[in-house]
Amino acid sequence: MRTAIVIPLLLLGACNVSKDGNAVTIQYDQNKAQNTAADIGNTAQGVAADIGNDVQNTGDKINNKVIVHKSTDSDGNTTTTTTTVKTENKAAK
């Protein structure tokens, strides 16, 4: 379905329209269409790579579990200890 929307836009982008008096000329430029299609493909690859990197980074953050320990001594002083534990992603195996 998405392809059906993109193809006419590519074709439209590959047309050169000129007007001379009462005459309108429309020319299709195949090279321009191929370059436009390549640009769209490169952009889509870049977006997909960015999404993949974001998903990986989010997964790495989820796999790191932070544990905070608070303890208070007899004088009322509070000590906070933070521990980061790497958890195993069992679903990935």
* pLDDT tens profile 63-82: 776 667 778 888 878 887 77
CA dihedral 42, 48, 50, 52 (to 10 degrees): -150
Q: Is the pLDDT of residue 92 over 70?
A: no
Q: Is the pLDDT of residue 17 over 60?
A: yes
Q: Specify the pLDDT at position 2.
A: 60
Tokens linked to 63: 């796999």
Residues 26, 93: Cα–Cα separation, whole Å: 57
Helix/strand/coil for 21: coil
Contacts of 78 (CB under 8 A, 6+ apart): 70, 71, 72
Q: Tell me which of 9 and 57 has the higher pLDDT.
A: 57
Q: Is the pLDDT of residue 8 over 80?
A: no
DSSP letters for 23-82: EEEEEE-HHHHHHHHHHHHHHHHHHHHHHHHHHHHHHHHHHEEEEEEEEE-TTS-EEEEE
Q: Is the pLDDT of residue 11 over 60?
A: yes
* pLDDT tens profile 22-65: 888 878 777 887 887 788 888 888 888 888 888 887 777 777 76
